[in-house]
Structure 1
Amino acid sequence: GISSATLSDIVGLTFDSANLADYQGAIAAEASIADVAALQALIDSVDASILALVSVQDAATNSDASTLTTETLTAIRGLTFDSANIVPYQGAIAAETSITDVAALQALIDSVDASLSAFAAVQAAATNSDASTLNTDTLAAIRGLSFVETNLTDYQEAIAAEAGIADVVALQTLIDSVDISLVAFASVQLAATNSDASSVNAETLNAIRG
């Protein structure tokens, strides 16, 4: 196999022996390597990728990803992302306590992309006054959003009734108001069933949407 000694024997080649395993993986993934210049370029890309991932890991550890750029992410070998989403990526990375490897970073980036797409669908549903196509998968994809699956139909109605939904915080507020409304109305129904409405108060009634 390829060892540090093998690489050292190649005249003019510079490398970091600590990254040998990564070099081995990168070399094995190539169909061919034309010359020493091509090998050096490959090794340099591996070194740059490792450094870039370390900067991402540091950003997570320090809860500050403000210095990460699209160039940082581009340097990470095998990573795919949407440069338009760099700010949400920064926020998501900063919110992590750690990022183990490129696979973990890719999973995080994919979840951000899916979240943005799902939230855009919610915004479109509000704008078009039609949330019938929204489902629990859509809501589950939105990072940080909490909801009750059984209340989906009520959420759809509430979203469709909105002229617009600015951000996830606004969506969460709307969902929370729906949940509270349903609980409040259930208490009114129970009061009727039990012929005892003594526990129903103005706060209960005010919580009921519509």
Structure 2
Amino acid sequence: MLRRTFLLAIPLHFYAKLGLTQSTTEWQIDIDDSPDFARDVNEALRGARLPAYAVSSSIDIKRTSSTVLNPAQKKDLIDNWQRRIARFFLDENFRIITSEELEDKGGVSFDQIRREAIRIQPFGHRGMVETSAGRQIFLLMNERPAACRDRGIIMITVFAFYPRDGVQSDYGNITTLMIGIGGCGRETSRAGRELRELRQDLRGAYQRIVERA
């Protein structure tokens, strides 16, 4: 089941933003917790007959000050913010799955996950996603979440997307996918509520990242 979970056809479409804006004198982030992205993931999970439930959250990053970073600096900043979001989950009793563990237990590499995510894009989006997809993917797991009564797991995937070329104010996007599996995989269960609460707590992490940038 681990391999099937990692290689789900997760569509990384660009949806209308239905969320919250947070800003400082230097940065603005548009938070998108709309159900569209997670809805497609949940349909894929049901199609694969996996007992799982997903929620998602993403941020678009813009700089509000007059200082402009070059493309390499922008990528470094996105990579840093992606690591800090992953660190938030470490503080929430998750652990990072290493590339060695992924290949040993899941039979798949991070590079394969990245290629698969690009492959399943609508044809017109593949090139754009391939050039913007970040250098790394963080995969985290909580194997004993209290809300699941030790009968399931929660997995987190943190993707980064680099900014569009030639758009000075654009600093990219970070998307986090949270999936409850097994006993954690029911939307109406206590575990489903915990996933949504975790997404809400992630908003606080976004604010701290922006304030310390």
- TM interval, shorter chain, is under 0.3
Greater relative contact order (Cα < 8 A, sep 6+): 2
Scaled by the length of structure 2, what TM-score is found? 0.19
Name the structure where helix makes up a greater proportion of residues: 1
Name the structure where strand makes up a greater proportion of residues: 2
Scaled by the length of structure 1, what TM-score is found? 0.20
Structure of higher CA gyration radius: 1
